[in-house]
Amino acid sequence: MSKKESAPISLGVIIGNRDFFPDRLVAESQVEIIDILKSQNVNPILLETEETKLGGVETFQDARKCADLFKKHRDQISGILVILPNFGDERGVAETLKLAGLNVPVLIQAYPDDLNKLDVARRRDSWCGKISVCNNLYQFGIKYTLTTKHVVHPTDPSFTQDLQNFIGVCRVVRGLQNVRIGAVGARPGGFNTVRYSEKILQRNGISVVTVDLSEILGNANKLTKDDISVKNRLDAIKAYTPTGRTPDEKLVQIAKLDVVLNDFVEQNSLDATAIQCWTSIQQNYGCNVCTSMSMMSENMLPSACEVDVTGTLSMYAMQLASGSPSALVDWNNNYADDENKCVLFHCGNWAKSFLPDIEISTAPILGTSVGEENTYGALSGRTPASPLTFGRISTDDSKGIIKAYIGEGRLTDDVLNTFGNRAVAQIPNLQGLMQYVCRNGFEHHVVMNASKTAGILKEAFENYMGWDVYEH
């Protein structure tokens, strides 16, 4: 399911040094870390060897030079990697970060010593130096991330995983601090559960752009089947999914709505959308918007129904962490008498990545109240076994905070005879999770992603965004 972007991420690199430790360790580490970062598709931004002593940071003047370099690349740098080939100068590292003022995630790595090289000429003492660096960053109020092992060589597989996770954290933090979400229409009257606070979101750098649903539907109704934009979207829909028994006139309706929604996204530079569905679109326009939402989510522009803005924010965050599409689902049904399994369900707006048997269909439950003929555009499909990260971001208005829960499990191939978009999830201590969700006032919507990225999300949400996070 991966749709990871090929463009490299840029990390600033600080190589710490201390005058009474061997300088050659700095030179060796610079060559080593550049090769490792490039092998991981990371663009390193660091001092040249002639700018300071071997490119290391030790004195306040070194810190100023490194900070100036980082400020020149402010728009590129998503995070900072601190390398400690020896004890390092904790003040130099902290002053660099303070002077640069980038406010990005920071990963601290320290080299291990060799038991056979603990003489004066070859010892590192990075174990101790890392504690000092972290102590100074804590004093300066600078947030940072630790490697799994206290000291670790950059060629160790655990550091490779730490680095990949850190890159995910950088993507999540950078994305959430500037995300723009389109809210299309009013919250459906019967869904108090998706209430949220625009003001709390804005305080966290998350912008919401609103538009009345009548404006969207009005513009869609002005289009005809002969408009080139409609023809192009109709071709895109047919290329995206089998259309099943959907009548041609309904496909045209879906295509016209798709044109207008995509124009709204482009004109407002949106990263995600949350769209009113139940039941205004069906009653006032005559189809479901699920196909368009699925196509947007598959193209990394996540879209949630029922104007669930914090739901689509959750989709976007998981997408940033994993590099693959997310889906908004209902915690919907028990799975027989298995206390650690449940059914995930929705009318039909999941990204194609989750639906190998995708097909345009109808929404039978919704059809009981609005007429099934007005629900074409919902997708049908069953999600097969895969890894699972699940979670939810929510504004807790009474406390004035953003809170979240996250966890991991797996999707299974257990038998499930029903309609719509559907999956079976197996989650350890699912009953305890449901107790937490209910006691803490979370929504019935949750987000799923085919990955194992709960650790990335927790680090980004809790450490860098300052949100209240429960990891199940």
> Are both 194 and 59 inside the same structural domain?
no
> Does residue 1 belong to any structural domain of this protein?
no
> Are both 113 and 42 inside the same structural domain?
yes
> Are both 170 and 184 inside the same structural domain?
no
Domain boundary among 118, 150, 176: 176
- Return the SS3 of 385: coil
Q: What is the pLDDT of residues 150-171, one digit of tens each?
A: 999 999 999 999 999 999 999 9
> Are both 36 and 98 inside the same structural domain?
yes
> Does residue 354 belong to any structural domain of this protein?
yes
> Are both 116 and 260 inside the same structural domain?
no
> Does residue 3 belong to any structural domain of this protein?
no
Question: What pLDDT, on a 0 to 100 scale, did the predictor assign at position 122?
Answer: 77
Domain boundary among 127, 158, 176: 176
> Are both 105 and 209 inside the same structural domain?
no
> Does residue 5 belong to any structural domain of this protein?
no
Q: How far is CA 442 from the centre of its chain?
A: 19
> Does residue 37 belong to any structural domain of this protein?
yes
Q: Provide the domain count of the chain.
A: 2
Dihedrals φ, ψ of 236, to 5°? -65, -40
> Are both 220 and 77 inside the same structural domain?
no
Domain boundary among 153, 176, 199: 176
> Are both 286 and 399 inside the same structural domain?
yes
> Are both 255 and 120 inside the same structural domain?
no
Calculate what percentage of the chain has a pLDDT beyond 70: 98
Q: What is the pLDDT of residues 78-103, one digit of tens each?
A: 999 999 998 888 899 999 999 999 99
User: Over the chain, what is the mean pLDDT?
Assistant: 95
Instruction: Name 157's Cβ contacts closer than 8 Å, sequence gap at least 6.
Output: none
Distances (CA, A) of 328 to 276, 382, 398: 14, 14, 25
CATH of the domain at 452: 3.40.275.10
Instruction: Name 303's Cβ contacts closer than 8 Å, sequence gap at least 6.
Output: 272, 273, 274, 275, 292, 293, 294, 296, 297, 312, 315, 349
Supply the DSSP string of 168-182, one letter for each residue: HHHHHHHHHTT-EEE
Say whether pLDDT at 6 is over 70: no
Contacts of 279-285 with CB under 8 Å at 24 or more apart are 279/188, 279/366, 279/369, 279/370, 280/185, 280/188, 280/213, 281/213, 281/217, 281/257, 282/366, 282/370, 282/371, 282/374, 282/375, 283/370, 283/374, 284/213, 284/217, 285/217, 285/220, 285/221, 285/253, 285/257
Question: What pLDDT, on a 0 to 100 scale, did the predictor assign at position 120?
Answer: 67
Question: What pLDDT, on a 0 to 100 scale, did the predictor assign at position 5?
Answer: 44
> Are both 266 and 302 inside the same structural domain?
yes
Q: What is the pLDDT of residues 292-336, one digit of tens each?
A: 999 999 999 999 999 999 999 999 999 999 999 999 999 999 999
> Are both 138 and 240 inside the same structural domain?
no
Position with higher pLDDT, 301 vs 21:
301
Q: How far, in Å, CA of 240 to CA of 231, rounded?
A: 14
Say whether pLDDT at 1 is over 60: no
List the domain range (segments joined by +) for residue 377. Answer: 178-471
Give the DSSP H or E segment for 303.
strand 303-305
> Are both 152 and 251 inside the same structural domain?
no
Q: What is the pLDDT of residues 186-205, one digit of tens each?
A: 999 889 999 999 999 999 99
Instruction: Name 229's Cβ contacts closer than 8 Å, sequence gap at least 6.
Output: 223, 259
> Does residue 156 belong to any structural domain of this protein?
yes
Say whether pLDDT at 4 is over 70: no
Say whether pLDDT at 21 is over 80: no
CATH of the domain at 128: 3.40.50.10940
| Structure tokens that stand for 469 in this block | 């996070």
> Does residue 271 belong to any structural domain of this protein?
yes
Contact 115, 77 (CB under 8 A): no
